[in-house]
Structure 1
Amino acid sequence: MSAIPQQVLASQKASLDNLLAIQGTFFGGFEKLVDLNLKVIKATFDEVAQKSQEAIELKDAQEAVAFTSGLVQPNAEKALAYSKHVYDIVSGVQGDLSKLTEEQIAQGQRQVSDAIDQISKNAPTGSEGAVALLKSSLATANSAYESVAKATRQAAEAAESNINAATSATFKAATDAAEAATKATPRTRRASAAN
């Protein structure tokens, strides 16, 4: 059996393996999202049952105000935590896909390099300049790809850092708002008692 059909079969097997890996990555991410949503739904049902019981036991308006102001912070924290989990899942899938893509590109580069080496071995005399040009072009393309890949990784890291900073700022604002609402509750009680 000649080397070319062997290479074609190996290339097709690698492509199939890559496709299966990509499908596995997407399905794994989907599974994680479904699992997260099921946990959130279960926790929400449990919390609604608990808060409903607490609401039934309220005796006056001051307790109702304190009860409602106490709901703000936990819900904001949960929404932020949920968003962070979703972001982590999506980011993980994107990272896995990036790795698979980089592996596929590296394999393609090796195949092109091997092909150029094969051409240079079988090239007629006097074609050394053309082979050198091909090798130089390949080296330039590889260098350009590495630069773009590095810039992309840096941009992704900067975006993740910005998202983490925004999440922290939003969480702090929600916490501050909840604390302000909690501090306002005693004033409301005093104002009601004065009337």
Structure 2
Amino acid sequence: MFAFPEQFSNATKANLESQFALMSTLTSKTFEGMEKLVELNINTAKAALENSSATARQLLAAKDAQEFFSVSASQAQPSAEKAMTYGRQVASIAADTGAEFSKVAESQFAEVNRKVISLVDEVTKNAPAGSEAYVSALKTAISNANAGYEQFSKTTKQAREAMETNVNAAVSQFTQAANKVAAA
């Protein structure tokens, strides 16, 4: 006789503990990302307020309409550059948080996979004669699930890289447009 229910009970307990650890880690990473984003927003708001105040003082000190419009025009490019920098920083925070999520999920999946394979190996050692086909089917199902996860992981990484490339291209185009406007 073998301890089949005990093995699955222990495996279930370990799986629940792993899931709790995963959720705790992902929650922690989410809060870290949000903390970075809030800090960026506070710093950006402070800088924008200081810049707006300085610009308002310059505009109020303008002696004529030409000086007023000159001061206004001189603020266009720095403002566009600050907006682009902010966008890059937000994209960086999002990319870093996404990378951390992927790393944690991959690590967790590898650990769960190792435990499942270990459990299957342990159970199959004690399996009754004639159950080889079922054991083989179970191992094939696990192998297929792993292949599916690996493909999903690869596709997710490609999508994240494509998004980063698109954001960088958009920022580059915006920079070029802002430079042309400022030059004109």
Aligned partners of 2:26 and 2:101 also within 8 Å: yes
Q: Select the structure of larger CA radius of gyration.
A: 1
Q: Which residue of 2 aligns with 1:122?
A: 126
Distance in 1 (CA, whole Å) between partners of 2:52 and 2:83 is 15
Equivalent-residue separation in structure 2 for 1:9 and 1:141 (angstroms): 21
Please list the CA deviations of residues 61-100 of structure 1 after superposition, one character each: whole Å capped at 9, or x if unmatched. Answer: 2212211111211111111111111111122222211222
Tell me whether 1:144 sits opposite 2:148 in the alignment: yes
AA partner of residue 39 (structure 1): N
Match of 1:62 in 2: 66
Aligned to 2:56: 52
1:19 is matched with which residue?
23
**Matches of 2:129 and 2:155, distance apart in 1:** 41
Change (3 A) 1:12 1:151: closer
TM-score scaled to structure 1, two decimals?
Answer: 0.82
> SS of the counterpart of 2:96?
helix
Query: If the length of structure 2 is used for normalisation, what is the TM-score?
Result: 0.87
Amino acid of the residue matched to residue 144 of structure 1? G
Shift in Å, 1:5: 5.4
Distance 1:25 1:16 in 2: 14
Letter in 2 for 1:71: Q
Structure 1 spans left out of the alignment, 5+ residues = 181-195
Tell me the SS of whatever aligns to 1:104.
Answer: helix
> How is 1:31-46 mapped onto 2 (pairs within 5 angstroms)?
31-46=35-50
CA 1:140–1:14 in 2, change beyond 3 Å: closer, same or farther? Answer: closer
Identity of aligned residues (%): 35
Runs of 5+ consecutive residues of structure 2 not aligned to the other structure:
1-5
CA change 1:167–1:64 in 2 (3 A) is: same
Counterpart residue type for residue 22 of structure 1? L
Q: Deviations over 1:92-145 (max 9, x none)?
A: 222211222222222232232122212211111122222122212222221222
Distance across 1 between alignment mates of 2:109 and 2:157: 16
Correspondence 1:113 to 2:117: yes
Structure 1 runs (4+) greater than 4 angstroms displaced: 2-9
AA matched with 1:19: M
CA contact (8 A) 2:84 2:175 kept: yes
Select 2:98's aligned residue among 94, 97, 106.
Answer: 94
Task: Compute the RMSD of aligned alpha carbons.
Answer: 1.9
1:176 aligns with 2:159: no
- Number of aligned residue pairs: give it: 179
Q: Say which is worse superposed, 167-176 or 134-143, in terms of deviation.
A: 134-143
